[in-house]
Amino acid sequence: MASKADYETVRGNGGETHQRVSEKGPHDAAGHLTTNQGIRVSDNQNSLKSGARGPTLLEDFVLREKIFHFDHERIPERIVHARGSAAHGFFEVYESLADITKADLFQRPGEKTPLFTRFSTVAGGAGSVDTPRDVRGFAVKFYTQEGNWDLVGNNIPVFFIQDAIKFPDLVHSVKMEADRAYPQAGSAHDTFWDWASLMPETTHMLMWAMSDRAIPRSLRMMEGFGIHTFRLVNAAGKSTFVKFHWKPKLGMQSTLWDEALKLQAADNDYHRRDLHEAIAMGAFPEWELGIQAFDQKFADGLPYDVLDPTKLIPEEVLPVRLIGRMVLDRNPENFFAETEQVAFCPANIVPGVDFTNDPLLQGRLFSYLDTQKSRLGTANFHQIPINAPKCPFANFQRDGQMQMNVPKGRANYEPNSLGDAGEETGPRECPATGFTTFEGRAEHEEEGGKLRVRAELFADHYSQARMLFHSLTDNEKAHVASSFTFELSKVGLAHVPPRLVGNLLNVDETLARRVANGIGIQLPKKNAAAREPIDMKPSKALSIQANMKETIEGRSVGILYADGSDGKVIVRLVKAIKGKGGRPVLISTKVGGATLADGSKLKADGQLAGTPSQTVDAIAVVLSSEGCKALLKEGAAVQFVMDAFGHLKAIGHSPEAKPLLDKAGVEPDAGVTDLSDLFIAAAGKRFFDREPKVRTLA
């Protein structure tokens, strides 16, 4: 922007005067300002008028182009995954995979392929927040020499549904309710749980969504999955089934539910800021790409169908082979041009990568391309009179540009039970008179004909949900039960929670009983399972707490100080934290900092009121007696310590700070230490044994 000194006063032909940017200013050095047609602009401050006070002239093509472009700067946001953050980087392959794939990017060890990766929430709009309980998208676009390959997945290895035909119902139910446009970016409401409780196949994914995986600490600290079973094909035409895994270098880390809520209040852009700042600081996020590769014989020996996206293959059954790494080393130059406009599509593959008959994947192959195109047009072209049917039509498709109908009622998905006495409302499928496809036969006999059916093993909706629950620590199990309790407490339809708990009885009776007690209902009867679940061996890889790295690398440690604090102690802490790969954050009541015991002034990184302990992973309280007395009167200081204790974080403190800890209700445990090396060791942990002291869990 030009400064006042960069403007000059000029006189028009009629004697009038006005201000414009001087040709001697910095603008000239940056190049000529032009229209989109390359025509140089002489005055970008004033529109063309008929005299100084006359009307603006229509012939002013500079004005018309500038306003026209401004009026069309926004495009429709994505239907799901609207809120995203992204970065540039590269993929480096560790070894040649020529034995199983001819894909060029997997042929030469050490070769780097540029890529662009976008992380996202699912349910909220582009203007929502980063930290709600939600699935996170994990989409990678490889710019290979054979074309673009898009590996489009999530931070959870399974999905809610088995067939893409149910995807509109899933999203309709979890989004804002149709008649009231709330809640935003959350699943804790009637329509989602109404639908989910009617769809037993969602149970496994619900266990993941209610676990701590849905409230990650950082985009840099979550896993990614391709979800589906894909194929790799080598030069000889031999096919190998494959599942893709992204494993973060920093390990997995989640927040607590209460912490996530307070992070939302403290910083709506917490994950976006964290990713951007890490890259800007040179702490490049890194993941290793792993595969589970197997043949048809192995697949046939499993007690579930590998084409079922609600199932995973435990790593204990088939270990993950690490084949390369992804490093994100450059932030986008322009958010709209790159992050907002990037278009991912699972159908974008390269030779050597291919699809399977996973029915959810097959639907995605159509959906993504269509979705991207709809952002430039309309889904309601069939309502234009020349295109409109002359017979009655009814379905649950809603909204979109140029919507000329006015759909009524709350139900925009099926199955639903929103009618009187819990009856289904809205149009229904008609097997007797509805269109059916000629069965035919597939090229390979074992693949069968064209049928609207699911394979027999798809009917097992509970075995892996049970495995997940039994793979969690006691603390994580309590979190799952509390998550179900909270979300179902928001459901106003009395018949829905018992139905969902009836499904949970197929997972674990203790879980179902805890949820029932938590929402104050009697334990219902177990809902009949389409296929009786089996007990599977627990998988340690499914637990966040069992796989947490006890390290402060990539984490931040808040150091709270005030007037009179010992500067030598702060210097030692900063050095020790940095030495372990952590990031010290100096916090004081004023951004200007405080005067230390030796009379020196230490500037803070953040003001106490605006840097709550939710924004760091551990805290050190370095206070003098006088400084502690002053902070005892600061509600933000008491809350700072109280929340750190409540969020199970390590708390190191000077002896003089103990009155502040006492006022915050801190009780001694292994995570409350002095400021010696004991604190540095504790700072990389969460102290889950503390949780029963600070909150009631279901």
What DSSP assignment string belongs to 323-343?
Answer: EEEEEEEE--S-TIIIIIT--
Same domain, 536 and 647: no
Last residue of a domain, one of 493, 512, 546: 546
Residue 154 annotated in active site: yes
Look at residue 447 and tell me if it is in a domain.
no
- The CATH number covering residue 657 comes to 3.40.50.880
Residues 6+ apart with CB under 8 A from 4: none
What residues pair up with 177 in beta bridges, in sequence order?
Answer: none
Full DSSP string of 577-615: HHHTT-EEEEEESSTT-EE-TTS-EE--SEEGGGS-GGG
Last residue of a domain, one of 513, 546, 579: 546
Look at residue 453 and tell me if it is in a domain.
no
- CB of 403 within 8 A of CB of 380? yes
Same domain, 221 and 289: yes
Same domain, 280 and 370: yes
Look at residue 196 and tell me if it is in a domain.
no
Q: Which helix (H) or strand (E) holds 20?
A: strand 17-21
Same domain, 519 and 642: no
How, if at all, do strands 556-561 and 583-588 pair? parallel
Beta strands in 249-373 (DSSP E): 286-294, 321-330, 353-354
Burial class (CB in 10 A: 0-12, 13-18, 19+), 143: middle
Distance in angstroms (rounded) separating the CA atoms of residues 255 and 648: 10
Look at residue 613 and tell me if it is in a domain.
yes
Same domain, 536 and 638: no
Look at residue 239 and tell me if it is in a domain.
yes
- The CATH number covering residue 310 comes to 2.40.180.10
Same domain, 536 and 559: no
- In 3-state terms, what secondary structure has residue 621? strand
Q: Please give the distance of CA 641 from its chain centroid, rounded to a whole number.
A: 28
CB atoms within 10 A of CB 235: 12
In total, the chain counts a number of residues equal to: 698
Furthest C-alpha separation in the chain: 91
C-alpha triplet 187, 191, 194: angle, nearest 5°: 105
DSSP 538: -
Catalytic residue among 154, 416, 475, 527: 154
Same domain, 568 and 525: no
Distance in angstroms (rounded) separating the CA atoms of residues 69 and 65: 6
Domain containing 659: what range?
550-694
Same domain, 230 and 338: yes
Distance in angstroms (rounded) separating the CA atoms of residues 215 and 230: 28
pLDDT of residue 440: 62
Same domain, 45 and 128: no
pLDDT of residue 447: 56
pLDDT of residue 514: 98
- In 3-state terms, what secondary structure has residue 138? strand
- In 3-state terms, what secondary structure has residue 21? strand
Q: Tokens 């029963």 correspond to what residue?
A: 692
Q: Tokens 């204990």 correspond to what residue?
A: 316
Here the tokens at position 177 are: 């309710």
Look at residue 448 and tell me if it is in a domain.
no
Q: What is the pTM of this model?
A: 0.85
What residues pair up with 20 in beta bridges, in sequence order?
Answer: 8
Look at residue 403 and tell me if it is in a domain.
no
pLDDT of residue 5: 44
Same domain, 232 and 136: yes
Look at residue 440 and tell me if it is in a domain.
no
- The CATH number covering residue 526 comes to 1.20.1370.20
Q: 357-386: per-residue pLDDT in tens?
A: 999 999 999 888 788 777 767 777 677 778
Domain count, the chain: 4
- The CATH number covering residue 33 comes to 4.10.91.20
Same domain, 524 and 566: no
pLDDT of residue 390: 73
- CB of 219 within 8 A of CB of 271? yes
Same domain, 29 and 97: no
Last residue of a domain, one of 510, 531, 546: 546
pLDDT of residue 12: 46
Regions in the chain scoring below 50 on pLDDT:
1-7, 10-16, 18-29, 441-445
Q: 610-668: per-residue pLDDT in tens?
A: 999 999 999 999 999 999 999 999 999 999 999 999 999 999 999 999 999 999 999 99
